[in-house]
Amino acid sequence: MTTRFAVLGAGRIGQVHARAIHAVPGAVLTAVADPFADAAKAVADQYGCDIREIAAIETSEDVDAVVICTPTDTHADLIERFCRAGKAVFCEKPVDLDVARVRECLKVVAATSGQVMVGFNRRFDPDFAALKAAIDAGRIGKVEMVTITSRDPGAPPYDYITRSGGIFRDMTIHDFDIARWLLGEEVDSVMAQGSVLTDPKIAELGDYDSANIILRTASGKQAIITNSRRATYGYDQRIEVLGETGMVSARNHQQNRIEMADAAGFHAAPLLDFFMTRYTAAYAAEIAAFVAALRDGTPMPTTTHDGLKALELAEAALTSAQTQQAVQLTHS
């Protein structure tokens, strides 16, 4: 069985997914949609697929699944439309910036028995997956502490910052998902501090560029997340998990493996500095996991529920940073 895909939105992340679909055995790219004709044409030319309107894709018999790469404020609507149309849906995070809207969307997904995967690509990074497998294999015993260092090479454009929902909803949301995944328990308490250290303009836009967050579960497990919008040495993405019998950690990705030594010491390359090069393998593996779940009829590996939980943590972090109090979460 081959899964026939349409990609909605041919921007940067749409192109990443188009390439991933092309590379995954068992998947084929049938159509692409984008209001910008040039963007759609570029994808269509490169992968030999059709250009169609979104409405046409909704009724396309030769499309089994869609990948939603459109602007965030369209995600929830499109998930609902395509669930109703009986298509499987892969949606870039977040489902929406508003928790209430996400809950509504989840109801539609449930009502239509929709198959929806939310794109938390990092879970599919080969190193992070190996780290998780080591934990699941019991190699560090019970998990106690998760430490996530997550720093971008540089801040996004100002207009993105204003639309993104802020650092916690835009950037930390990936780390919240990873923390939940590795803690293996829901988070009960969130403490966060935010600062503006790299660019005062970010404060004017009402956001932070530097943040630290402590998460705590009911059983007392903790996770700590440290974020910055600026790391001159590249895209810093590290995870470390302490357990009762050991620790497992995932190292960064440098641009190459050569080392220079001279009178000033030893020198190695900076980190990969772009999420697309750093997570190339993760994007491919994530689409492959989606295809495999559809083929095998197994549950989606990351769900709209995961999207909701990560968003709740983001909101709690923002509240904590603003109120200087821990925010307690309840789980229904």
Spatial distance between the Cα atoms of 31 and 4, rounded to a whole number of angstroms: 9
Query: For residues 202-231, which are near a copy of itself according to CB under 8 A?
Result: 210, 212, 214, 216, 220-222, 224, 226, 228, 230-231
Q: Which of 28, 42, 145, 205 binds a copy of itself (CB under 8 A)?
A: 145
Query: For residues 34-93, which are near a copy of itself according to CB under 8 A?
Result: none
20 binds a copy of itself (CB under 8 A): no
Q: What is the DSSP string of 102-153?
A: HHHHHHHHHHTT--EEEE-GGGGSHHHHHHHHHHHTTTT-SEEEEEEEEE-S
Our CB check for a copy of itself shows the closer of 159 and 244 to be: 244
- Check residue 51 and report its DSSP letter: E
Query: For residues 270-309, which are near a copy of itself according to CB under 8 A?
Result: 270
- Min separation Cβ 128 and a copy of itself, Å: 8
Our CB check for a copy of itself shows the closer of 110 and 247 to be: 247
- Min separation Cβ 25 and a copy of itself, Å: 9
Element (H, E) at 213: strand 210-217
List Cβ neighbours of 267 (8 Å cut-off, separation of 6 or more).
259, 260, 261
233 binds a copy of itself (CB under 8 A): yes
172 binds a copy of itself (CB under 8 A): no
| Beta bridge partner(s), residue 32 | 7, 51
At position 227, the amino acid (one-letter code) is: N
162 binds a copy of itself (CB under 8 A): no
C-beta of residue 5 within 8 angstroms of C-beta of residue 28: yes
Q: Quick one: which segment of 33-41, 104-112, 268-276, 295-303 binds a copy of itself (CB under 8 A)?
A: 268-276
324 binds a copy of itself (CB under 8 A): yes
**For residue 67, what are its two tokens?**
């990948």
Our CB check for a copy of itself shows the closer of 83 and 192 to be: 192
151 binds a copy of itself (CB under 8 A): yes
Q: Are strands 65-68 and 3-8 parallel, antiparallel or unpaired?
A: parallel
C-beta of residue 70 within 8 angstroms of C-beta of residue 13: no
- Min separation Cβ 321 and a copy of itself, Å: 10
Give which of 218, 217, 221 is closest to 135, Cα–Cα. Answer: 221
Q: Which of 38, 136, 157, 256 binds a copy of itself (CB under 8 A)?
A: 256
**For residue 37, what are its two tokens?**
């004709």
Q: Could you give the strand order of the β-sheet that contains 210-217, starting from the edge strand earlier in sequence?
A: 236-243, 143-151, 222-228, 210-217, 187-195, 327-328
- Min separation Cβ 324 and a copy of itself, Å: 4
Q: What is the DSSP string of 265-277?
A: EEEEPPBP-SHHH
Query: For residues 103-132, which are near a copy of itself according to CB under 8 A?
Result: 126-127, 130-131
- Min separation Cβ 213 and a copy of itself, Å: 8
15 binds a copy of itself (CB under 8 A): no
232 binds a copy of itself (CB under 8 A): yes
φ, ψ of residue 90 to 5 degrees: the values are: -115, 120
Note the residue count of the chain: 332
Would you tell me which residues interact with a copy of itself (CB under 8 A)? 126-127, 130-131, 134, 139-140, 142, 144-145, 147, 149, 151, 189, 191-193, 195-198, 210, 212, 214, 216, 220-222, 224, 226, 228, 230-233, 236, 242, 244-270, 324-326, 328
